[in-house]
């Protein structure tokens, strides 16, 4: 089950509770599904009970208890736990990793696109400033992923004014210059330094582009060994590998949410930071993709390759939205 499908499952649970007279609320247009926060558990969490508590005239925990059995019985859901003030923490069935990897690979560059801004025109009024113009140019593409249309103009009053760069970023080159302007939060002053050009782990841009190049190399090396990716349930050989796969699945699953937030709040830095999280998860997981020594390729290797290729799809798509290339070799 993908995050989009899980969001629909949550809404169906709300609708069933309303139809059965357990809740008296208007069913919302969408349910936000994210990775569990501190103190959470499972694969995903939703704050739908907190969202509905006030209109329902009930406490969040009471709403969560009403929704829990409707969610627990849904296909693909293995368990539902309630944590904190009323978060529903959802554990998916064994086929979830395969379903997510298959969905990402099938959707390709359109993975994460949605309709949160469908039919909306987002007016971006910016000053004559390099950073503001790069941010606006990027938001045109990000807003489009959510069904909206962004229009950029130089007009008062300005409604998009990130802190300007202290100097011209052009000497860094196109990729590093855009990253230097887009990666910091709008209220942070960007660093225009050669650090963005160094090829080492301390450079987030390098890690993101290197992680993408690694996914392409893994596919080439697997082909040389005579196998291709095939999403299926992975039998974990260690708790460490299970944790690494979980982190990567979480990053892939949270990508649609990152895109939606970046579009809705006009914050391309949210997308840039999420790409760093995805890259770090892939780089931690990559060692398990190819057979070692005399080991023969197995179903597990094919499934892990599919997960790595899904990560490459997300990294390439996200970089493209930022206006940055994703090289196959680095």
d(CA 171, CA 176): 9
Q: How many CA atoms lie within 13 A of 194 on its CB side?
A: 1
Residue 122: strand pairing partners: 150
Full-model pTM: 0.80
Neighbours of 223 (CB within 10 A): 11
Asked if 114 and 322 count as a contact pair (C-beta separation under 8 A), the reply is no
Residue 92's nearest CA partner among 132, 43, 126, 130 is 43
Asked if 132 and 162 count as a contact pair (C-beta separation under 8 A), the reply is yes
Neighbours of 222 (CB within 10 A): 22
H or E element, residue 83: strand 77-83
What pLDDT shows up at residue 100? 86
Asked if 16 and 70 count as a contact pair (C-beta separation under 8 A), the reply is yes
Neighbours of 99 (CB within 10 A): 17
Residue 135's nearest CA partner among 169, 185, 181, 172 is 181
d(CA 300, CA 281): 18
Task: Write down the residue that tokens 């780089």 correspond to.
Answer: 283
What pLDDT shows up at residue 236? 56
Asked if 33 and 257 count as a contact pair (C-beta separation under 8 A), the reply is yes
Query: Count of H helices and E strands in the chain?
Result: 10, 6
239-264 helix and 299-321 helix, angle to the nearest 10 degrees: 20
Tokens coding 27: 């069913």
CA 56 vs CA 48, 52, 285, 292: distances in Å: 12, 6, 43, 56
Residue 153: strand pairing partners: 125
pLDDT, tens digit (0-9, with 9 covering 90-100), for 20-62? 899 999 999 889 998 888 888 888 999 999 999 999 999 999 9
Tokens coding 301: 């290797």
Which segments of the chain have a pLDDT < 70? 94, 233-239
Residue 310's nearest CA partner among 282, 291, 283 is 282
What pLDDT shows up at residue 45? 94
């Amino acid at each position: 089950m993908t995050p989009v499908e899980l969001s629909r499952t949550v809404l169906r649970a709300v609708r069933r509770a309303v139809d059965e007279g357990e809740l008296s609320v208007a069913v919302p247009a969408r349910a936000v599904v994210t990775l569990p926060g501190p103190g959470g558990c499972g694969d995903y969490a939703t704050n739908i009970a907190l969202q509905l508590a006030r209109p329902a005239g009930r406490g969040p925990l009471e709403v969560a208890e009403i929704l829990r059995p409707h969610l627990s019985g849904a296909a693909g859901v293995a368990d539902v736990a309630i944590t904190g003030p009323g978060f529903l923490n959802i554990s998916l069935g064994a086929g979830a990793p395969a379903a997510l990897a298959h969905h990402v690979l099938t959707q390709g560059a359109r993975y994460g696109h949605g309709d949160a801004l469908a039919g909306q025109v987002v007016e971006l009024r910016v000053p004559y400033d390099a950073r503001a113009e790069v941010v606006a140019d990027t938001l045109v593409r990000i807003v489009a992923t959510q069904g909206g249309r962004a229009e950029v103009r130089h007009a008062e009053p300005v409604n998009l004014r990130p802190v300007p760069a202290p100097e011209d970023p052009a000497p860094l080159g196109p990729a590093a210059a855009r990253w230097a302007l887009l990666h910091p939060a709008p209220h942070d002053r960007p660093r225009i330094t050669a650090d963005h050009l160094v090829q080492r782990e301390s450079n987030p841009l390098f890690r993101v582009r290197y992680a993408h190049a690694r996914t392409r190399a893994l596919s080439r090396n697997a082909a040389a060994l005579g196998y291709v990716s095939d999403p299926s349930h992975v039998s974990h050989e260690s708790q460490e590998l299970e944790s690494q796969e979980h982190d990567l699945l979480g990053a892939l699953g949270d990508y649609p949410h990152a895109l939606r937030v970046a579009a809705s709040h006009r914050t391309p830095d949210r997308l840039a930071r999420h790409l760093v999280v995805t890259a770090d998860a892939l780089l931690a997981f990559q060692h398990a993709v190819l057979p070692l020594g005399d080991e023969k390729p197995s179903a597990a290797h094919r499934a892990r390759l599919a997960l790595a290729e899904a990560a490459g799809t997300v990294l390439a798509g996200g970089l493209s939205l930022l206006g940055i290339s994703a090289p196959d070799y680095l």
